[in-house]
Amino acid sequence: MITSAIIYILSGALFAVLSPLLLLSDVSLTSGIGQSIISAGQYLSILDPVIPVATIIAVIALLATIEISIAAFKVIKWVYKKIPGIN
């Protein structure tokens, strides 16, 4: 019950902080960025019969997710230790 209350408070605070971003206009990519993504995809498609590019990208994404999770856990642990009265 306390945990859900803390989560609701944090999500409300996050929404309050990020809500001004909803007032900004939409952003579109320029043709140069889109063309670079297309050309990178073409280069990777050449390697696909030799190296499983999709699997490598999935593994890199998984590793990045794990590393970001570890870093977030360390930040949360650091903030928790900064609360007075907690060791």
Q: What is the pLDDT of residues 46-70, one digit of tens each?
A: 888 888 888 888 999 999 999 999 9
Decide if 19 contacts 11 (C-beta within 8 A): no
Q: Which residue has the tokens 């050449």?
A: 46
User: What letter does residue 87 receive in the DSSP assignment?
Assistant: -
Helix (H) or strand (E) holding 31: helix 31-47
Work out the mean pLDDT of the chain and round it to a whole number. Answer: 86
CA distance 56 to 10: 35
- In angstroms, the CA 10 to CA 4 distance is 10
Percent of the chain beyond pLDDT 90? 29
CA distance 3 to 56: 37
Confidence of residue 5 (pLDDT cuts 50, 70, 90): confident
What pTM value is reported for the model?
0.50
Residues recorded for the chain: 87
**The two structure tokens encoding residue 72:** 């977030």
So what's the pLDDT on residue 59? 93
What is the arithmetic mean of pLDDT over 32-56?
A: 85
